[in-house]
Chain A
Amino acid sequence: GENVEQHPSTLSVQEGDSAVIKCTYSDSASNYFPWYKQELGKGPQLIIDIRSNVGEKKDQRIAVTLNKTAKHFSLHITETQPEDSAVYFCAAWTSGAAGNKLTFGGGTRVLVKP
């Protein structure tokens, strides 16, 4: 089955600096890669996603890149703000005979220091 590795597990940045989170996946059939932000005591919220036919996508201060050959994808947050502090998860979506599944990385706790 799919395996998703995420690094780093914690990331501390100064307000205004950039944050980068990297993920690798194992199943070359995975075709959709969403990123989620989770605040304490809440469910994850989608912040950006990318499909396998696209190499890069940007939404204001957030961007995601995908390298299908190397099977890795990254989240970039520019001009970080204190409200960006949260846990971020990458995930890979795989379609199979038993149905469609989303496999998550282990998460990155981001702390933005004012």
Chain B
Amino acid sequence: DGGITQSPKYLFRKEGQNVTLSCEQNLNHDAMYWYRQDPGQGLRLIYYSQIVNDFQKGDIAEGYSVSREKKESFPLTVTSAQKNPTAFYLCASTDIGVSSPLHFGNGTRLTVT
């Protein structure tokens, strides 16, 4: 089955700790994206990557970092600098070149206390 896998589904951390969220896709997509979703809100873009070893900041990149060492993987690190890290994080991927729909994973719910 082709798709996007986000793990874990639920993640708990203490304030001040960095945490890395995993995102793996086997769709052979070039582009990958990270979005943040707060309760009752839309999706806001954190970081995106069009190709391996390259990525761009989205609208709310402060306090986050990413890497893209492999085509199929795009991990997101939520650092201690992120003031309000508790949220639902969604990873997505798509082909590039022609506008095409994003395929989403089922998200990771991060709770920081």
Contacts and interface: CB of A to CB of B under 8 A. Distances in A.
Contacts of B96: 99-100
A99 B31 contact: yes
Chain B interface size, under 10 / 10 to 19 / 20 to 34 / 35 or more: 20 to 34
B106 A1 contact: no
Interface in A13-55: 31-32, 34, 36, 41-46, 49, 51
Contacts of B4: 43
B56 A106 contact: no
Interface stretch (B67-75, B77-85, B97-105): B97-105
B109 to A, nearest CB: 8
A95 interface: yes
A70 interface: no
Contact of B48 (A31, A42, A99, A105): A99
Nearest to A96: B56
Interface residues of A, number: 28
A57 interface: no
Contact of B50 (A31, A89, A100, A102): A100
Interface of B: 4, 6, 31, 33, 35, 40-45, 48, 50, 56, 58-59, 90, 92, 94, 96, 99-107, 109
Interface of A: 1, 6, 31-32, 34, 36, 41-46, 49, 51, 89, 93, 95, 98-107, 109
Given A45-B104, A100-B50, 4 more contacts: A6-B42, A44-B90, A102-B33, A104-B43
Give the 3 A-B residue pairs with the shortest CB-CB distance, closest first: A43-B104, A32-B99, A106-B42
